Structures are given as structure tokens and as C-alpha cells.
Chain A
Amino acid sequence: MKELKILLILVIIVLIGYWGIEPYAHSVMYGEIKHPDFEYKDIPKNIPTTGDPAKGKELFIANCASCHGLKNDGINPGMDDNTAIASFKVVPPDLSNIGAIVDEHFLAYFIKNPQDATKNPKFAMPQMAQLSDEDIGNIVAYLKSVAKKNLDGKEITIEACSRCHSIKYQKIQAKTPEDALKEYLGKVPPDLSVIGRAKDVEYLESFINNPQNLLPGTSMPRLGLTKEATEKVVTYLDKIADPHRDQRRTLGIWVIGYLLVMAGLTYAWKKKIWKNVH
């Protein structure tokens, strides 16, 4: 009984200490993480997101294809990567699947005002003032119509992140070279190989949804990913950062089960030896 009391005191002290240095300290240091806003409430919703895809395609070729390709529909960009890097310090994305991973209202407003939509005043794409709201609606309709549905987490991550971020443990190299990125963003964006271990799922979702919420002043743009796309990206990043999670959980059960048996046996042996002691 006395020994159980001592054990109880130990457990209480350890638990108080653990509470203090883990949950409590973390809540003080990092505060509460804002819930992601997948409706993008601050984005004006008055620009149409539907229209005529055929017209949209014409508008795309006239206004966008000088920089952006669209491989799904056989459209090649008007400039190669090196020219683009020289002018913009970043490779413009191929827009084949953008309509499937980015929220449509975000996309429409982004075409109109990329800097405001991404919350990044230095965002490389110029504002498309020559396009009317109706034109934008047609383009968005076109982008949605050509986009591949059901992309998996890896594909979305490559589409959405890999222009700037490398994931070297997965052999994914950022499309834009590091020195160009440094000029464009002020620093080389972090490699995402083990970001899932450095940050938890909740943080990553909130950060991708709106980087300024968690890291005010960061040059990472808001991407406008839909809820589904964000979750798929985060699930992917989380999985590649901790590939042996299932193995760990299963092995843990076996090891602890084995030790429980050990504890039973050693307790029985102790009882036997100590029977004659008192």
C-alpha cells in the first residue's frame, strides 16, 4: 500500500510537469490555430464562375497562353521556363487541373487581382484588367471543364506546391531554381519532405488555407485550394513524413503485450521469492 502511495505521488508530479511543458506551454507559445476558411469569405463573389467554355478557350489562348500552358488541351506556353524565370523569377504553372483544385470564386477573383487574392503584394502574375467579368466567367468555366477530376494527394501537391517547394525525399524537385526563388520570395521555401513531422495536420491545413494567419508577412501566397484539395495535400504530406506509422502502431501493441506478460511472470517470481522473507 505504501509503495502504491509513493507511485501515485510520482505519477502526479510527472503528469503535472508533462502538462506544463507540453499542452500548456504549447498553447501559450503558439496560441490557438485559426480554423481554415474554405469559403474564402473575404473574396468578392460577384464575378461569374460559369459561362461558355468554348469562348473561355479563345480568351485563354489570347490572354493567358503567352505564359501558361494547358497540356490537357494541347496548349503549350508561349515562353519556355528559362525565359519565364528571367522575367518573373518563377515558372508559371501549367493550368490543366487548376479548375479542379482551386475554389472557383477564388480563381475568378485571382485572375482579376492576383496580389489581393493571394495576399502577396509581390505575386508575379499581373492583373488582367483587360478582361471583363463575363470574360473571366468564361475562362473559369473553361478551366473547370478541362480539369481532371479525382487527382490524388501527390498529384495535387505537385500541381500546387512544387513550383517553389522541393520534396527531396520523394525526389520531387522545385520547378523554379533556388536562386530565382530567393530573388522572388526573399528566401528559398522550405523542403516539404518531413514538414508533416514539424507541423501537425491542423496547422498545415490552416497555413495552406491562409499563410498570413499563422505567419504574418510570409511571402507564401494564399493558393485558394478547395477543402478537398487541401485535405488531400495535407494527408499526403503527413504520410510521406511518417511512412512507418502503421508499422509503429502495430509493433507497439506486440511489444507492450509482451511486456505485460513479462510483468505478470516477474511478479509471480517476486511473490515466490519474497514468501519466505517476511
Chain B
Amino acid sequence: MKFMDWLDERLAVRQVIKVMLTEYYVPKNINFLWSFGVLIMLVFAILVVSGIFLLMYYKPDSHLAFDSVNKTIMMDVEYGWLFRHTHAVGASIMFLVLYIHMARGIYYGSFKAPREIVWITGYILFILMSATAFTGYLLPWGQMSYWAAQTITTLFEKIPFIGPDLVVWIRGNYIVEDATLTRFFALHVVFLPLLLIVFTAIHLYAVRIVGSNNEDGVELTKEEKKHGKGIPFWPVFMSKEFFVMSVFLIFFFYLVFYQYKFAMDPINFTPANYLQTPTHIYPEWYFLAFYEVLRGFFFSQNLGLIAFVLSMFIAAFLPWLDTSPIRSGKHRPIYKILFWIFIADFVFLTILGKLPPTGLYAWLGFAGSLVYFAFFLALPILSKIEKKKVAGGR
């Protein structure tokens, strides 16, 4: 223990361990959905490690990229395929755990005061993660990489006045080309991950200050948590977390080894060709719901674009849309119904996003988009009703 004393004198490690782990309490009445924050960290770590190995062999050059991924990494490098599979599946599963983490926050009202900063920084992390995924998806330089980037960057053309110039500025060329690849590469491996780390730090700091929410949405003081209503983060919470992680990893590596096609689209094993548009262009599954809003809103490109941007950012304003004094959805019967309609609608939009936007599918997509926004617009009204009810109850 001499070394610990030495370190403690210089870095106050004992105090840090107390504050951060052994005397940091989380409420007892939480379920395993509260484990997803740490799961996100785990997936992020997996992505960083597998990404560094890929970086050792990947060539960010439009003439070399496809072969460096599909030949060098997938065939020649020992276990290179493992790192690529892990990275691709990791990126996809990152969004699954992110969405569950966010849905848990929405259901139990974790975005409400005093946790607005937690919610906002979390939302920024989601947007940053989306940008990281989008830029990373171009790197293998396959057909779907190319055309997804081409389609999404074209969207900026609709911005008034600066649109067309902006598109050229983003691409570094009139079409998606080598310049686009190298800048996306720079963003994907340096800039965006740095921002992700910075915002993760702020997010975690904010959580340490306000503490975790719980199933009942009842605010607990540190004393209450210390005496019966809480558990210390270490070792009690983390002992459960490790079990959740192990189970999660079984699922994760099952996908990596045996069920990876959803994350590695077969079409992307055809090299990018700017002369040949694929029959169906679609983003990865995690953007499909927003993509469906984009292409279906009142069947108009301009309105679609506005709705698309709104759909991606509206949830960031939840703390101000939902001002009901009752925090947890567990104690809000109407909210519960709205929530499940929203979840069903999100899954519905995700599925429609991959289907051809014709006939009935187009109408269903439009209806789904309206339901998506209706959820957010209903919240202020519901808040008013619940405020009255609470006031009357007193």
C-alpha cells in the first residue's frame, strides 16, 4: 500500500476513487436499461481499438481505398477481417444502444430539470456519432458508400443562396471524389472522435453532478441514497454492469461472426462508380427513419428537407416541450401511450425507409412522419393537462 500512499499524496487518488466510484451513489430502483450508458462506452472503446487497427492498413485514396479494405484488410492481413467486421458491426450496434439509452431517457423523463445539460450534451453526442458514422461509411469506397454520400451531400443544395456553393465546398469537387474521401477520412479519424471524447466528458461530469434518474422519477438526495435508497457505483452497480456487458458481448460477437450482413451491405462490395447509380439507394438502418421523413413529407423535396432537419433535432428540445411536473412515464398513463406510439412509429419509419418510396409505401411514410412530429407537439398540451391535475390534486 506504500505506492498508493505515495500516489495519494500527489494525486489524491483515494479521494478521487471515493467521489467517482465508492461513494458515488446511484438509485436502487433502476433496471438494466440504466446499464446502457456504460455499454455505449464499451462499444466506443471497441470502435476505437478496431479502428486503430484498420487505420494501419487503410489507404484514403479513391484509387486504393476499396482494395485496401477488401483485399489487404479482408484477405491478406492476419485477422484483418475480424477488425473490419467488429468495426462495421460496432458502428451499427452503437446506434442500437444509443437509441435504447435515449428511449430510456424519454420514457423515465430523464431529460427533465435538473438534467437538461445531461440531455443536451447527450443529444450532441448522438449528432456527432451520426456524423462519425456517415463520414466513416464513405471510406470503404463501395457503391453504397459513394451514393449515400452523394445523395446526402446533395441535400445541402436546397439551402437558400449558399446551397450550391456549400455542396462544392463540402465535397471539395463537383461530385463526390477523392477530395471528399480524404476530408471525410480526416473528420472520421481525428476531428469527430476528439469532439466525441470532449462531449462525453461533459456528459459524464453533468451526470455526476445531478445524479442518475430512477424508475419513479423521484429526486433522491445523497443522504437518502447513502442510507438505503441507493447503491454505490463501485462495486455494487458495476458488478451488475459487468454481467450486462458479458451478455451484451455474446450478442455482439454473434453478430460479428455470423450475422454481419445488416452492417456490411453486399452492395458495398462493388467498387464506387460515379457513372452507375444503384437501383436502390438507402442509408444504414439507423438513419432510415429520418430518411423516410426526408423523402415523404408532403411529397415535396423542400418540405422534406425541412422536416428531415427538424426530425433530427426536435428531440433535443424535449426538456422545454415536456414541462409536466410528473417526471417518470411510469406515473403518466397518457404519456405512456404516446411513448409507445412514438416507438412503434420510429420502427415503422425505419422499415419504410428501406422500401421503395412508391404507392402505398409513400403514403404510409407520410402518415408515419406526421405521427413522429405529433408526438412532440402533443407534449406541451399533455404537460398543461397534467399541471392542472397535479394542482387540483393538492
A159 CA to B100 CA in the complex, in Å?
A: 53
Interface of B is mostly: helix
Contact B355 A28 (CB under 8 A): yes
Whether A20 sits at the interface, judged by CB under 8 Å, is yes
Q: Can you name the residue of chain B whose Cβ is closest to the Cβ of A18?
A: B262
Whether B82 sits at the interface, judged by CB under 8 Å, is yes
User: In the complex, which range does the number of interface residues on chain A fall in?
Assistant: 35 or more
Whether A17 sits at the interface, judged by CB under 8 Å, is yes
B288 to chain A, nearest CB (A): 7
Interface 1/0s, chain A 185-204, versus B by CB < 8 A? 00000110111011110000
A249 CA to B259 CA in the complex, in Å?
A: 11
Tell me which of A54-62, A68-76, A260-268 binds B: A260-268
User: In the complex, which range does the number of interface residues on chain B fall in?
Assistant: 35 or more
Contact B262 A21 (CB under 8 A): yes
B236 contact set on A, CB distance < 8 A: 273-274, 277
Tell me which of B151-159, B180-188, B241-249 binds A: B241-249
Given contacts A14-B96, A252-B257, A263-B250, contact A24 B262 (CB under 8 A): no
Tell me which of A2-10, A119-127, A130-138, A216-224 binds B: A2-10
Contact B254 A256 (CB under 8 A): yes
Q: From residue 240 to 255 of chain A, which have CB atoms closer than 8 A to chain B?
A: 241, 243-244, 248-249, 251-252, 255
A273 CA to B242 CA in the complex, in Å?
A: 12
A255 contact set on B, CB distance < 8 A: 253, 257
Whether B14 sits at the interface, judged by CB under 8 Å, is no
A19 CA to B269 CA in the complex, in Å?
A: 22
Contact A6 B33 (CB under 8 A): yes
Contact A270 B240 (CB under 8 A): yes
Contact A21 B350 (CB under 8 A): yes
Whether B347 sits at the interface, judged by CB under 8 Å, is yes
Whether B258 sits at the interface, judged by CB under 8 Å, is yes
A262 to chain B, nearest CB (A): 5
Q: Can you name the residue of chain A whose Cβ is closest to the Cβ of B252?
A: A259
Contact B243 A270 (CB under 8 A): yes
Contact A269 B347 (CB under 8 A): no
A13 CA to B342 CA in the complex, in Å?
A: 13
Given contacts A13-B347, A256-B254, contact A198 B235 (CB under 8 A): no
A174 to chain B, nearest CB (A): 15
B71 contact set on A, CB distance < 8 A: 169, 193
A193 CA to B269 CA in the complex, in Å?
A: 10
Contact B70 A262 (CB under 8 A): no
Given contacts A6-B31, A29-B356, contact A20 B257 (CB under 8 A): no
Ordered by A's residue number, 17 sampled pairs between the chains whose C-beta atoms are within 8 Å are A10-B100, A21-B285, A25-B355, A198-B270, A244-B75, A248-B85, A248-B257, A252-B253, A252-B258, A256-B254, A259-B250, A262-B246, A263-B247, A269-B239, A270-B243, A273-B236, A277-B231
Since A29-B279, A244-B75, A266-B243 are in contact, a sample of 8 more A-B pairs with Cβ atoms closer than 8 Å, ordered by chain A residue number, is A3-B31, A18-B262, A29-B354, A252-B256, A252-B258, A255-B257, A263-B246, A266-B245
A-B pairs, 8 with minimum CB distance: A252-B257, A20-B351, A263-B246, A198-B269, A25-B354, A197-B269, A273-B239, A266-B243
